Structure 1
Amino acid sequence: MPLVLAETASTAVSARPAYQEPFSAAAITQLLLGLGLVLGMILLLGWLVKRFSGLAPMNRQMRVLAVLPLSSREKAVLVEVGKQQLLLGVAPGRVNLLTQFDEPVITQAEPVTPAFAAKLAEVMQRRTPHD
């Protein structure tokens, strides 16, 4: 009987996996291949989403020049497309062309500062630091 116990004990010891060095060439290769696979899948998914969802890259030939809220849900939007300016009526679920301008109405989109922001900037400039 002791012979059988010794035999099973030696088989149990040899069944354990051998210790692997964490920074071996095989481990680093496996890490790099896994990383490459994940990055490849991210790029593939990005390409598929762009290709099949209708998302297009931003075009510099088209930009919003001005927005005028008409109510809580409707607004008038002045859009420049190439050399042409269009006034659009935007409401939930629809966009209508209101008019098309032959000559530009606004030449450059200028940032509009609200009255409070302008007043705050003026006060901050007048303020002197305390010594």
Structure 2
Amino acid sequence: MKKVLGFLAGLVLALPLSAMAAEPVATATAAAAAVPAVSSGVAGQLTQLVFGLLLVLGLIFLLAWLLRRVQQHGPAGKGQVIELIGSRALGPRDRLMLVQVGNEQILLGLSPGSITALHVLKEPVQVPSGTEKATPEFAQRLMELMGKDHKDKK
């Protein structure tokens, strides 16, 4: 997978260089032509600019898709020892989070610049199996709007 990403990165870096190499030939041809060729040169440059922009945007979306696929199937998700059980916003910048570490559940207080362990629960809170895992409200709302359900991933 690293080879594919390296190849795509090299391709992205090589495209501007190939465009610069072709530019003197295009300017020499345009200089030799008459005045009406100037307008077609501008149209050609505009077309080349739009095509290049679409190509770069397509590569960005392709790389984002590949990265998402690699992260889903990678070993990072399977060996996690810290799991987010629940989260509650207390204000615009402060929140409470309940995390599970091994067999212990810890209540954390998060504020800008600090994370404080507020309480270690003696008995873990039982979370009903029908509820979804805690996700940030924005991400959850965005997935709903995009029509993707969390249950599809399981």
Would the TM-score normalized by the shorter structure come out above 0.5?
A: no
* TM-score grouping bracket, smaller chain normalisation: 0.3 to 0.5
TM-score (norm 1): 0.40
Kindly name which structure, 1 or 2, has the bigger radius of gyration based on alpha carbons: 1
Structure with the largest fraction of helix: 2
